[in-house]
Amino acid sequence: MQGNRACAEAALAAGMRFFAGYPITPSCEIADFLSTALPRSGGNFIQMEDEIASMGAIIGASLTGVKAMTATSGPGFTLMQELIGFAALCEIPCVIVNVQRGGPSTGLPTSPAQGDLMQCKWGSHGDYPIVVLSPSSVRETYDLTVQAFNLSEWLRTPVILLSDEIVGHLYERVRLPSPAALERTERQCPLKTRYGRYFSPYHVDSSDDAPKIPDLGTGFHCHITGLIHGEDGFPTRDPQEVEALITRLHFKINSKKRQICLMEQRQIQDASILLCSFGATSRACFQVVNDYRRRGKRIGGVNLLTLWPFPDFFFRELPSNIETIVVCEMNMGQLFGLVRQAVGHKINLISISKCSGTMISPEEIGSAIEGLD
């Protein structure tokens, strides 16, 4: 199965029943497959006029209670940023798939890159949290797409699946779970019998909870606005309410960081050198770990499946035997800066970055680590 096809299959299995998108390389196969498969599953597929409209459409669908998704690549992802911020502020569950390609601008449409890591977090203005998952294989694409929907519904937040051209177009033999066996998180909505017609849709019982906002059209009076709002959903300029809302948005995600943050570790406990990467680059890193372990070199690897919130706790708690971290990424050092911030200067850091539109090879990584151990 191809990576992009696995993403689409997983979205259906997770209960996604609305897709709006605009075709863009290298994510086109997701929309192409869903254009026929989604209607057969009782859902709705719409090709929109652009990526701004696509993001607006899935927000609207989600507000009615439907699990919704869109898929794009770099230039389209840029156009979606304002509405991603809107979804984060208004706590609207949705999944955005970004199959990365070379940039900036139109860049390299058919070549791999990993340059959207920072844009995922800081693309829209203001202070808001985001959840970003990144697969490195076809099976991980399937699993993390399901996880993206589960996290989105649980936390009432947009979740980004950050793939790349290599993983999206990769074909691998996979054994997929039965859709009936998947754990699926469904949205929590208020009970009409418990509330009157007017109530506070953004009220929470605890600061780490997501609100139970009713689906539009179910008889509740519910106001949704992109302005900073109080618990009643209407705009507010009260400093305490403003502070409380922004703080809660962050806390509901950061308080669950250890549950949200996923990673794949190999041979870390006795390693002196740790290869750190995400997405397709992890495949080269793990090959180096396997090759050098056979030669007796103490090398370990970590593949970060969750990029935001960033798993800084993992780096602070590394075994004391790790002396050097080698950060490998197809950009100019975006992950490297985050790792540096997490570990400070107590561990030696080496950056292997590449932005040529080609993958980092195991040989390039091997050359960089020769003589370190």
Domains of the chain: 3-181 (3.40.50.970), 264-369 (3.40.50.920)
Count CB-CB contacts under 10 A for residue 216.
14
According to the model, what pLDDT value does residue 149 have? Answer: 98
Q: Find the mean pLDDT for residues 215-232.
A: 92
* Rounded distance between C-alpha atoms, residue 277 and residue 164, angstroms: 13
Q: Count CB-CB contacts under 10 A for residue 175.
A: 5
pLDDT of residue 198: 58
Q: Sheet containing 94-100: which strands, arranged edge to edge?
A: 44-47, 18-21, 68-72, 94-100, 158-164, 131-133, 306-308
Name the nearest CA neighbour of 8 among 33, 27, 28: 33
Pairing of strands 18-21, 158-164: unpaired
Of residues 355, 294, 368, 264, the one with CA closest to residue 325: 368
Which residue type is seen at 330?
M
Predicted pLDDT at 219: 82
At 193 the pLDDT is 53
How many Cβ atoms sit within 10 Å of the Cβ of residue 73? 29
Q: Is the pLDDT of residue 191 over 90?
A: no
- Report d(CA 347, CA 339) in Å as an integer: 10
Tens of pLDDT, residue by residue over 60-80, are: 999 999 999 999 999 999 999
Neighbouring residues of 100: CB distance < 8 A, sequence distance ≥ 6: 73, 74, 112, 113, 114, 115, 116, 162, 163, 164, 165, 279
For 313-347, the pLDDT digits (tens) are 999 999 999 999 999 999 999 999 999 999 998 89
Residue 194 confidence (pLDDT) above 70: no
pTM of the model: 0.96
Per-residue pLDDT averaged across 38-49, rounded?
Answer: 97
Mean pLDDT of 185-192: 84
